[in-house]
Amino acid sequence: MPIRSFYLPLIASAVLVTALPARAQDNFYSSSDGSVSAFAGIGLTNLQAGEYVYDGSHKLSQLDWESKNVPTAKLGATLELGYNWRLKGKLDFGMKGDGHMVDRDWVDYSIDDWTHQSVHPDTKLDHYLNGTIEADRTIYQTDSTRLALGGGLGYSDVQWSAYGGSYVYSSYSLHDTVGTFADGEKGITYRQKIPVAFVSANAEQRIGALTLAGGLHGGATFGISDIDDHWMRYLRFTDDMKPAQMIGANVSLDYQLLPSASIYVAGDYQKVYHAKGDTKVESTLYPASAKYDDAAGADFQAWSVSFGVKGTF
């Protein structure tokens, strides 16, 4: 798919949002001076990433990285711009946590079963960061309801390192060699950097002191960039993926305690679909490297639940 086709929905949405009429805003979501609100919270995040190696249409390798219940700090703010426009930004910081990784290879092209497998329960999440900035415009509003369309940009950065573990290899026959790596020995470090652009549809409904809000996102990455360091083999793989589709959703429930303060619970989901790309392999011992077209692949998803406080200023 040509890259420009990913961004046609962004252009169309911008035109649509600008052209649609909207009633004058009321200020029940605004701060006391009609401009700024902010939130801070904590939550738990589940992360999954797939790493793939190909030889043409044949999948040579797949590494499944995962972390569950990662403690995550969440910060965000909303700015009312006037003329029915709203600007929103948020940051999620995942604290270091545990993870899991499974690495499978299919080096025998004549069979469907994997030939090599290593399992790494001692996998650490080195870091996780997710940030978005979004602008939307009201297309319908009453005293208790708001509907809006918009768009924005996002960025995710995640890295794991796998240590120790066990392996099953196929040396002379299938799955005939079994062993373990030394505890604490670093095997692989994997990092994904994911910039995205998206269009959005948002809705909010107030019922007394409660406010229910939700949004849907759809768009594309500018291409996942990833780095894979194989420490025991002294190799670094640097991959650049083609643009991939992404979707996202969020929902929150607020309870207003004071005119300028509320508490909330929220859920977020993001999925970046699989895409292939080019890879560069470099030796970390010698000045040697090679490049391969369409030899890499990647995907990613994250979902979280959180609670916190919101305030107006």
CA atoms 266, 48, 193, 270: torsion sign: negative
Residue 105 among the catalytic residues: yes
Q: Which of 92, 103, 229, 299 is catalytic?
A: 103
Cα(41)–Cα(234) distance, integer angstroms: 41
**Phi-psi bin for 17: left (phi > 0), alpha (psi -120 to 50), beta?**
alpha
Three-class DSSP category at 7: helix
Cα(115)–Cα(169) distance, integer angstroms: 6
Residue 278 among the catalytic residues: no
Q: Which of 136, 228, 239, 254 is catalytic?
A: 228
Q: Which of 92, 105, 122, 136 is catalytic?
A: 105
Three-class DSSP category at 36: strand
Q: Which of 100, 175, 230, 274 is catalytic?
A: 230
**Phi-psi bin for 175: left (phi > 0), alpha (psi -120 to 50), beta?**
left
Cα(239)–Cα(158) distance, integer angstroms: 15
What's the chain's length in residues? Answer: 313
Residue 293 among the catalytic residues: no
Residue 228 among the catalytic residues: yes
- Catalytic residues, which ones? 103, 105, 228, 230
